[in-house]
Structure 1
Amino acid sequence: MTIVLTGPATLDATRISLVSSRLQGVIAKMRVDRNDRVEQGEIIAEIITDDLKSELGASQASVEAAHKAVDLAIADRKHAEAALANARQNFDRKKMLLEKTIASQESYDAAVATLRQAEADFDRSKAAIEQARALEASAAATAEVQRVKLEEGTIHAPFDGVVISRDHYVGDTITPGSEIVQLVDTASIILSARFDESSISRLSPGQKAVIRFNGGGRGASIMATVLRIGRQVDTETREFSVDLRPDTLPPNWALGQRGMTTIEIGTRKGVLAVSAAAIERRQGKPGVWIVDSGRAYWIAVTLGDAGGLFVEVVKGLQPGDVILSEPRDVYFGMKIAEGGARR
Structure 2
Amino acid sequence: MLRKTLIFLAIASALTACNKPGKEPAKPETAGKQADAKASDKPVQLLVSSEDVLTVQSNSLASGPVITGSIQPERKADLRAEVSAVVMQVLKENGEPVKRGDVLVKLDESSVRDSLLSTEEALRAATQAFDQSQRALDRMKTLRASGMTSIQALDDAEVRRNNAQSEISAARARMATARQQVGRTVVRAPFDGIVSDRKVSNGDTAAIGKELLKVIDPNSMRFEGRVSADKIAAVKVGQPVMFRVNGYGEQQFNGVVRRIDPSANDVTRQVEVLVGLAGGAQPRVAGLYAEGRIDAETADVLMLPESALVKSGDKTYAWKVKGNTLAKADLGMGARDPRTGNFEVRNGLAAGDTVLRHPNSSLKDGQKVEMAAPKVPALASAGTAPAAAKQ
Gaps of 5+ in 2: 1-58, 321-325, 368-391
**How many angstroms apart in 1 are the aligned matches of 2:83 and 2:107?**
8
Aligned residue for 2:363?
A: 337
**Cα distance, 1:50–1:122 mapped onto 2, change above 3 Å:** same
Task: Confirm or deny: 8 A CA contact 1:2 1:264 kept in the other structure.
Answer: no
2:345 pairs with 1:313: yes
Aligned residue for 1:288?
A: 316
Pairwise CA distance, 1:29: 2.1
**Cα distance, 1:136–1:241 mapped onto 2, change above 3 Å:** closer
Aligned residue for 2:234?
A: 201
Pairwise CA distance, 1:205: 1.7
**How many angstroms apart in 1 are the aligned matches of 2:312 and 2:169?**
82
Pairwise CA distance, 1:4: 3.9
- Residue type at the aligned position of 1:337: L
Task: Confirm or deny: 8 A CA contact 1:77 1:122 kept in the other structure.
Answer: yes
2:53 pairs with 1:22: no
Q: How does 1:271-286 map to 2 (within 5 A)?
A: 271-276=301-306, 278=309
SS at match of 1:138: helix
**How many angstroms apart in 2 are the aligned matches of 1:322 and 1:21?**
69
Pairwise CA distance, 1:62: 0.8
**Cα distance, 1:261–1:326 mapped onto 2, change above 3 Å:** farther
Aligned residue for 1:255?
A: 286
**How many angstroms apart in 2 are the aligned matches of 1:279 and 1:259?**
32
Aligned residue for 1:230?
A: 260
Aligned residue for 1:47?
A: 107
Q: How does 1:1-343 map to 2 (within 5 A)?
A: 1-4=59-62, 10-86=70-146, 88=147, 115=148, 117-192=149-224, 198=231, 201=234, 205=238, 207=240, 212-216=244-248, 221=251, 223-228=253-258, 230-231=260-261, 241=273, 243-247=275-279, 253-259=284-290, 261=292, 271-276=301-306, 278=309, 287-289=315-317, 301-304=332-335, 306=337, 308-314=340-346, 317-319=348-350, 337-338=363-364
- Residue type at the aligned position of 1:183: V
SS at match of 2:255: strand
Pairwise CA distance, 1:336: 5.1
> Per-residue displacement from partner, 1:79-111 (whole Å, max 9, x unpaired)?
22233333x3xxxxxxxxxxxxxxxxxxxxxxx
**Cα distance, 1:41–1:150 mapped onto 2, change above 3 Å:** same
Task: Confirm or deny: 8 A CA contact 1:213 1:258 kept in the other structure.
Answer: yes
**Cα distance, 1:198–1:210 mapped onto 2, change above 3 Å:** closer
Task: Confirm or deny: 8 A CA contact 1:290 1:321 kept in the other structure.
Answer: no
Task: Confirm or deny: 8 A CA contact 1:210 1:221 kept in the other structure.
Answer: no
- Residue type at the aligned position of 1:21: A
Pairwise CA distance, 1:228: 2.0
The alignment's TM-score, normalised by the length of structure 1, stands at: 0.68
Pairwise CA distance, 1:57: 0.5
**Cα distance, 1:42–1:227 mapped onto 2, change above 3 Å:** farther
Task: Confirm or deny: 8 A CA contact 1:288 1:323 kept in the other structure.
Answer: no
Tell me the matched-pair count: 296
- Residue type at the aligned position of 2:98: V
SS at match of 1:272: strand
Aligned residue for 1:111?
A: none
SS at match of 2:174: helix
The alignment's TM-score, normalised by the length of structure 2, stands at: 0.61
> Per-residue displacement from partner, 1:297-322 (whole Å, max 9, x unpaired)?
9x7845146261212132x5344697
**How many angstroms apart in 2 are the aligned matches of 1:176 and 1:281?**
68
**How many angstroms apart in 2 are the aligned matches of 1:68 and 1:199?**
70
SS at match of 2:134: helix
> Per-residue displacement from partner, 1:184-240 (whole Å, max 9, x unpaired)?
123431124566765963765263x655444458xx736533142535677868787
**How many angstroms apart in 1 are the aligned matches of 2:264 and 2:137?**
76
**How many angstroms apart in 2 are the aligned matches of 1:275 and 1:240?**
34
Pairwise CA distance, 1:259: 4.7
Task: Confirm or deny: 8 A CA contact 1:20 1:179 kept in the other structure.
Answer: yes
**How many angstroms apart in 1 are the aligned matches of 2:126 and 2:270?**
69
Pairwise CA distance, 1:339: 8.5
**How many angstroms apart in 2 are the aligned matches of 1:338 and 1:203?**
50
Aligned residue for 1:92?
A: none
Identity of aligned residues (%): 15
Task: Confirm or deny: 8 A CA contact 2:304 2:344 kept in the other structure.
Answer: yes
**How many angstroms apart in 2 are the aligned matches of 1:290 and 1:337?**
11
Larger Rg over CA atoms: 2
Task: Confirm or deny: 8 A CA contact 2:234 2:296 kept in the other structure.
Answer: no
Task: Confirm or deny: 8 A CA contact 2:95 2:196 kept in the other structure.
Answer: yes
**Cα distance, 1:203–1:340 mapped onto 2, change above 3 Å:** farther
Pairwise CA distance, 1:160: 2.8
Gaps of 5+ in 1: 89-114, 328-334
Of stretches 135-144 and 4-13 in structure 1, the one that deviates more from structure 2 is 4-13
Pairwise CA distance, 1:130: 1.2
Pairwise CA distance, 1:25: 1.1
Task: Confirm or deny: 8 A CA contact 2:71 2:285 kept in the other structure.
Answer: yes
